[in-house]
Amino acid sequence: MPATQRYLDAIKVYKTSGYYFQFVDCHGLPGSLTLKKGKKFMLDNRDGKTRKIAIVGGQSFTISAYNFAIATAPSTVGTHYITCDGGGAASILVQP
């Protein structure tokens, strides 16, 4: 399946800046990111099926196969866990 221009544009912005999680088999790569509160980052589902990816206590996304969503880091400083289909997948450390 060819990549859409929207996907390629998002990759260019978020992957190059490092504000990017790739999910394969519900495992986030990298395992953690440090972000400023309110910073946008990309959730990239590289699995062949729809996944529910959520920031615990925050945003939740249903991302179809080989698709993505743009999330916003919570405004609460500290560690926030990201789940994939309910299991632990990654974390973000939010700084002021």
CA distance 10 to 71: 12
Query: Residue 1's pLDDT is what?
Result: 58
pLDDT band (50, 70, 90) for residue 57: confident
Residues 44, 51, 16: CA angle, nearest 5 degrees: 5
| Mean pLDDT for the stretch of residues 70-85 | 96
State the pLDDT at residue 3. Answer: 77
pLDDT, tens digit (0-9, with 9 covering 90-100), for 2-39: 678 999 999 999 999 999 999 999 999 999 999 999 99
At 8 the three-state DSSP class reads helix
Share of the chain above pLDDT 70, in %: 98
pTM: 0.94
Q: Mean pLDDT score of the chain, rounded to an integer?
A: 95
pLDDT for position 35: 95
